[in-house]
Structure 1
């Protein structure tokens, strides 16, 4: 009995540590990475902390012990003050006049043969054309000779005039204005397109915040040590601050209908997400179901987003978890105003 008591206390001590860390993580979106850089990295671990606390709650519940209330309380607080990790029900309303907006990081259409299947590039085009979005925002775009996205209007911005890498927005509807925010000292960027839909104009931002350069197929995600990996993540999140601020300044001048989508290279528990999602609707939260995992790795990370202004009605959101043609899964929302 004594041994069980000691084990009992030790498990509850570990439980208390994880509960306290999860509770503190709810404050992460309010702290700029420039203020305390190393804290920003912990935003990536929030899903893990949630899962661990659920496990402790179930453990104590099976034991029918009051200790279950600790993790339950912390999880309940998170449900009200933080972005939900899991959606248990979804909304699906299909209207003929819905705008279908897709965001997809295509990993350069497999230009560097990250996928062994040599037909990956053609399969990406086939998938996009079959899903038939009205607008698609493409991150890690490559201006390939085989390029075959069957949408009549486009805005493509490569990093320089001589290379073929960049971002793209394709549309069924006319693009009447477009431009680039041109992030400094970064391979990433954000572009926008003003799209004429009937008699109205919708501005679409295609966002690709500073990459974390994670290679899920390698040890330490391609870094020599976990310490160097941590430092790289920290530097990446700090760099995202100026990029987010540039986007905020640019979109402030636009008072019309708006969609901000893309690969944020950060989770919904980050400062970057909180800033970009302010006064907007998150299509996954409105209509998604499950974890919404968009990065192709065993760990559940939702880093690809579709955000709209508050006036939009979001009718459907889908993460294509079965489309394994890139290191990201494509996401698509149906919406209208």
Structure 2
């Protein structure tokens, strides 16, 4: 510090704060929000904290100063703990014929209330799904829209609520569904549903999870005072509910007799307690075969990944794709998976 100029000391001061916050965020998945609610908001900001620390590292690298070690060490710890924020995966051209394509998509009621000021969004979503032709489709914020025909799927299970407008979650499948149900979350329209699907000689359980939402406008310039208060004062309560919901799901999943595939809108990042609880020993398909930042939510200022496809370790993740189509406030994701050493 003695060899630093006054401006560099100021830079290092803010660098220290950013490094501390990022380091603190690394332990958040281990801290139940019910006990440490005030820290929970940091899990949403981890991507931007990583970028900020990378910029500080670059600054000190240009200056050839040993202060670069601060952000370097914190970034390395994060990489070893969570992997890279940006993924590079080789494309697999040898996807086996028996692979199952699984799409997860929060369709936001098929734009029922014209959040996107464009006509025919619901038809574009239908056309997109038909074109990509997933074997299994998991949808959050689903609504049986009169202009949307998904009858090309042979089987479906939907769990809806609401009086005038029915909405909820749905699982569509090209393979027979022999059993289905819901993991009810108390005092909310959010829940987790499941369907047991028969593929060849295998019965697989598909879960579709939608955790509690923060209900914050993704355009920060439109953030009202009430939104800000909800974000910083109410986020703890929301994350407490997410913790309870994630724990309910995990209890149910642990009793499942079948290999499991999970599609989800967790309304939280991969740096959160809820993600850790739900992922457990499952494989995050984006980390296994994805590319880029894996952005799944339309947030203007930095990429945020809150939608996930998770699978039992027995599955091979052959490919993973995030689609850049803005027909909702979420982007669809699709994974192609197959059972290791599968015998037809």
Q: CA shift at 1:44, angstroms?
A: 0.4
Correspondence for 2:6 = 6
Shift in CA distance, 221/159, structure 1 to aligned 2, threshold 3 Å: farther
Correspondence for 1:279 = 281
The answer for unaligned runs of 5 or more in structure 2 is 340-344
Shift in CA distance, 206/84, structure 1 to aligned 2, threshold 3 Å: same
- Mapped pair 1:305 → 2:299: no
What is the CA–CA distance in structure 1 between the aligned matches of 2:29 and 2:181, rounded to whole Å?
A: 29
| Cα contact 2:102–2:135 (8 A) shared by 1 | yes
The one of 213, 221, 239 aligned to 1:237: 239
| Cα contact 2:285–2:317 (8 A) shared by 1 | yes
Q: CA shift at 1:199, angstroms?
A: 1.4
What is the CA–CA distance in structure 2 between the aligned matches of 1:168 and 1:255, rounded to whole Å?
A: 22
What is the CA–CA distance in structure 2 between the aligned matches of 1:232 and 1:92, rounded to whole Å?
A: 43
Q: CA shift at 1:86, angstroms?
A: 1.3
What is the CA–CA distance in structure 2 between the aligned matches of 1:67 and 1:330, rounded to whole Å?
A: 41
What is the CA–CA distance in structure 2 between the aligned matches of 1:70 and 1:27, rounded to whole Å?
A: 18
What is the CA–CA distance in structure 1 between the aligned matches of 2:202 and 2:285, rounded to whole Å?
A: 21
Q: Secondary structure at the match of 2:234?
A: helix
Shift in CA distance, 184/221, structure 1 to aligned 2, threshold 3 Å: farther
Render the CA deviation track for 1:142-196: whole Å, top value 9, x for unaligned.
Answer: 0111221221110011025875111000001011100011211012111000000
Correspondence for 2:199 = 197
Q: Secondary structure at the match of 2:242?
A: helix
Correspondence for 2:342 = none
What is the CA–CA distance in structure 1 between the aligned matches of 2:136 and 2:12, rounded to whole Å?
A: 51
Q: Secondary structure at the match of 1:122?
A: helix
CA RMSD of aligned residues (A): 1.8
| Cα contact 1:103–1:136 (8 A) shared by 2 | yes
The one of 303, 317, 327 aligned to 2:329: 327
What is the CA–CA distance in structure 2 between the aligned matches of 1:223 and 1:204, rounded to whole Å?
A: 40
Q: CA shift at 1:107, angstroms?
A: 0.5
| Cα contact 1:221–1:229 (8 A) shared by 2 | no
- Mapped pair 1:66 → 2:66: yes
Aligned pairs, how many? 335
Render the CA deviation track for 1:283-315: whole Å, top value 9, x for unaligned.
Answer: 000001111010011221100000001111001
| Cα contact 2:216–2:227 (8 A) shared by 1 | no
Q: Secondary structure at the match of 2:45?
A: helix
Q: Secondary structure at the match of 1:181?
A: strand
